[in-house]
Amino acid sequence: MASSLEKIQFLLSNFLFVVRSKSFLKLFFSLFLFLILPYSLIVGRMIYREYKDALDWNQRFQLIRIQLLAIDIENQIRETLEKDFSEGNSNSFSLRSLSELKSLCPNFILENQFSYQILQCERKGILNSYFLESKGSGFRLHTSAFLEDALLLSSFSDPNEGLFLLNQAGDYGISGFIEDQFLVSNEWKELVRPSLQTNSNVPTLKQVEKEELGYFLVGIPLYGMPIHLFVVSPIHLVLQPILDSLQANLTTLVGILTLTFIISIVISLREIESKQKLTLILNEFPYAAILYDSLGEVLLENPNIEQTLRLTDVYLYQEPLKTWLKKEVTLFLNEIKNQSKTENHSKPNGQNIKKDEFEVMTVTGEILLLEIVYQIWYFGEKNKFASGALLLIQNVTKKHLEFEREMDYAKDLQKKYLPNQIQLFPRFDYEILYRPLIQVGGDYYDYLNLGNNRFIFAIGDVIGHGVKAAMMMTVLKVLFHQITRTETNPEMILLKMNEGITSHFPDPYAFVPFLFLLFDLNENIVSYGNAGHPGMVHYSETERNCYEKLNPMFGMLPKFKPKVLQFPIQTGDRFHLFTDGLKDVENAKKEKIWDTELLSFFDNMKNNHISLVKQELDFKIRSFSEGKDLLDDITWIGIDII
């Protein structure tokens, strides 16, 4: 018994949970608004029109029918009176004097203008209804049986209706209601009294109520007789088809309502089950997560950024973080919609569409760094348009501090592997500008004294950024130093560098653009070796040259035939060596500095000292980018021959 009660309570609690859920209420009221309510309005209007039409038809029908009934009953009365008089029927008898009539019929009132009356008379100790016929000074009484038959058997009457006749005064009449012993009840007399007419033969119709039932009451005076005929029709007979239609439509409406209720529960159960699964998933996240719909409203959320830190405890720009997130996610969803329209496809590529980091303040005044990842989601694989956005909020303060420490360490380490001061070489005046994308980068630069009046300047660009690229850059330096320690032939330097990178560099760092200038002051010749590097700009006394990429980048091919350019060293020559990070500097209009201004800048600075060129180049990069983030590490070496 207890287990059954627990099951019932469990089912009842689940049922109440479902019907109180927002998903059920939204779905049920949506179906009610767009299905049940329109159906109700259409059916109600139809039934109302049927009701009005039925009443109008009944009024016209009853008014015509009662006139036919009046003519029929009056004809029967006259035929019966003539037959009784001619045949001397026992149902009638003559009276010779007024006193004799009054003795039998104490309620008789002499009315000279009328020849016929309905009376109640007592004969042989029996009180009965009679029809009085006046002829001059004589009178003849007829029993009311023929009138009762006329009211019951008229061809113009309906078995479900009632007919009765009333005298002119309305105080006595003969009825077709058997249960009333063919007498008009006092209640009916009171109900029909307002319909009695004295100076008109026009039929009347009105609605009356008796014993909480409604009736149509139609009345008309008989022509030439001081008698009124009344027909009583139950309203429900006229309205029965309408009531049947109403009942059928109400049954259908209740069925639709029940079906809507069941469908809403079933769909809501599925949605609630899905939400419960999503809630479990969100709650399993080690950080806060919020699921928004396409309008930016919160569907589900895990508000815990950490065990002791919630979204409600965090403020950004002096407002609650959740308030700010709602604005941002609305903008994000609008951007996705606009992107889908402009790019002529529905689903943008990628999942982590947007990532931000913000410093926020807790209610205790602590400053934290939060990482917020915006990701669109779809309700099903076949959905073409975003159903909403998923936001993941993570406290990355500790990670950021650890990253900063690692970057400081990597920066110090890279400083040890990159030349940190200018060496004095004969006939050379040179400067270096190095700007990594982050604190450390993959760009490599170097300058070495190879001995015997030979000097080499080199630039390389390991693919990637950050610590990993910086580590591979150190490997590149070690390899370059090992090769140049024993090898001064430019072609062999190219071949051995390619072999070393192919053998020792892992993917995706196995491709390295590289460029070097090897100056031989004994021969007064410079050798230009380029392995897939953007190149350099060379100013001589008479011209400016931008040399091409002579060889594939290191690691591209296992073997290749090296190409090297050689030209004489002349006093006043200037060389600009740089990585592609300098060429790719962009402004807000996405214009590249190489395409628009870099060569002009070098031309204009041709006669300035190389140290001033470095300062102005650094300023040029900052002003041209207009505060926009750099796209890559930047390294530049400027060399003047003196």
pLDDT at 204: 86
Number of C-beta neighbours around residue 8 at 10 A: 10
**429 shares a domain with 299:** no
Q: Does 514 have pLDDT greater than 80?
A: yes
Looking at per-residue pLDDT, the higher value among 2 and 117 belongs to 117
Q: Which of 640, 622, 489 is nearest to 577 (CA)?
A: 640
**524 shares a domain with 594:** yes
- As a whole number of angstroms, the distance between CA 103 and CA 98 comes to 9
**330 shares a domain with 439:** no
**Is there a domain that residue 409 lies in?**
no
**Is there a domain that residue 2 lies in?**
no
**Is there a domain that residue 255 lies in?**
no
Q: Does 199 have pLDDT greater than 50?
A: yes
Chain segment 402-434, per-residue pLDDT in tens: 766 766 666 666 666 688 788 889 999 999 998
**207 shares a domain with 336:** no
pLDDT at 479: 92
- As a whole number of angstroms, the distance between CA 42 and CA 485 comes to 98
pLDDT at 47: 78
- Determine the residue type at 391: L
**426 shares a domain with 394:** no
**437 shares a domain with 319:** no
116 within 8 A of 133, measured Cβ to Cβ? yes
**423 shares a domain with 521:** yes
Chain segment 596-613, per-residue pLDDT in tens: 889 999 999 999 999 999
**438 shares a domain with 395:** no
**Is there a domain that residue 374 lies in?**
yes
DSSP secondary-structure letter at 43? Answer: H
**Is there a domain that residue 306 lies in?**
yes
Last residue within a domain, chosen from 403, 437, 471: 403
**297 shares a domain with 221:** no
* DSSP codes of every residue in 603-633: HHTTTS-HHHHHHHHHHHHHHHHTTPPPSS-
- As a whole number of angstroms, the distance between CA 114 and CA 22 comes to 80
The CATH number covering residue 355 comes to 3.30.450
pLDDT at 350: 45
For tokens 């980091």, name the residue.
357
- As a whole number of angstroms, the distance between CA 135 and CA 334 comes to 103
Chain segment 1-26, per-residue pLDDT in tens: 556 776 677 566 666 666 776 767 77
pLDDT at 98: 82
**Is there a domain that residue 355 lies in?**
yes
**595 shares a domain with 507:** yes
**178 confidence band (pLDDT: 50, 70, 90):** low
Tell me the residue range of the domain where 458 lies.
Answer: 418-641
CA distances from 630 to 174, 422, 565, 582, 585 (A): 113, 26, 32, 9, 6
Mean residue pLDDT of the chain comes to: 82
Please give the tally of structural domains in the chain.
3
Chain segment 223-280, per-residue pLDDT in tens: 878 888 888 888 877 777 777 777 888 888 888 888 888 887 777 766 666 666 666 6
Dihedral of CA 508/356/618/411: which sign? negative
Predicted model pTM: 0.45
**Is there a domain that residue 10 lies in?**
no
Q: Which of 201, 191, 139, 124 is nearest to 162 (CA)?
A: 191
**489 shares a domain with 355:** no
132 within 8 A of 105, measured Cβ to Cβ? yes
**572 confidence band (pLDDT: 50, 70, 90):** very high
- As a whole number of angstroms, the distance between CA 495 and CA 563 comes to 10
Last residue within a domain, chosen from 353, 372, 403: 403
Last residue within a domain, chosen from 209, 239, 269: 239
**Is there a domain that residue 263 lies in?**
no
**289 shares a domain with 189:** no
